Amino acid sequence: MTKKVRRSENITEDHQQLYENFLKYLEITKSLRKINTNSSTPAFQGLNATPLGLCSFALTTFVASMYLCGISVPVDASIGVVMGAALFYGGATQLLAGYLSFREGNTFGAVAFCSYGGFWLSFGSIHIAAFNFLVGYKDESILNNALGMFFLSWAIFTGLMTLSCLRTNFITIGLFFSLFICFVLLSSSKFAQNHRNLQRSSGAFGLVAATFAWYSAFAHLLNKSDWFFKLPLFEVQRKQSKETNNTMEQA
């Protein structure tokens, strides 16, 4: 009997030790999971890609709008200088800003920067002679109508983006609304066979859009840094719900 009791005591001690070792194993795995989650934090955490995307959009739009308005250059001058900014700054750099916005979780900024970066790349590639995109258009009126449809599609997209930003701030709303008018007038000028007054008007609204974009870019840049002053973005004040109003009155 004494042997059986000792044997049972040894078994219970062994089980307890195994149980304690199992608990230690669980604690070690939990600590390893915490280390893995901390190490898997995004490498771009804390980065704000919005100023980069807005600056690349603003500068390229400003240069193109100056050409459209005929300021310091003839209205029908070659837009070869615009293509450099369109491909590398308004296109590639803005696409990079859109990718970084995706990493930040900024869906609206990512859609805007990637889309308009693609616009500048596509617009620049149309005018690159090596691609031969315009070879099939023998009639100039057909080419103008094709470009009118191209700009009209971007006007529709910009109109949808304008509706999407109505709850953000008035600077962003002004940016997309002026850009929407710019695309509408530019497509109308192409459908009207390069109507000069419509083209100049579209360039004027493009300059307004570039001004809004630059202001918004430096507002984000200065407001994130320890600068002497901050630029207001004029946030849209959202109406409080009835429940919050009732709780405020009760308080």
Tens place of pLDDT for every residue, the chain, 251 residues? 544 444 455 556 666 776 677 677 677 777 666 655 544 445 556 678 999 999 999 999 999 999 999 888 887 777 888 999 999 999 999 999 999 999 989 999 999 999 999 999 999 999 888 888 888 888 999 999 999 999 999 999 999 999 999 999 999 999 999 999 999 999 999 999 999 999 999 999 999 999 999 999 999 999 877 788 889 999 998 665 444 344 333 43
CB 184 within 8 A of CB 157: no
Alpha carbon distance 107, 105 (integer Å): 6
CB 68 within 8 A of CB 80: no
Domain ranges of the chain: 50-224
CA nearest neighbour of 92 among 62, 112, 119, 126: 119
Contacts 24+ apart (CB under 8 A), 170-175: 170/233, 170/234, 170/236, 171/212, 171/215, 171/216, 171/219, 171/233, 171/234, 172/212, 172/216, 172/233, 173/236, 174/208, 174/212, 175/209, 175/212, 175/213, 175/216
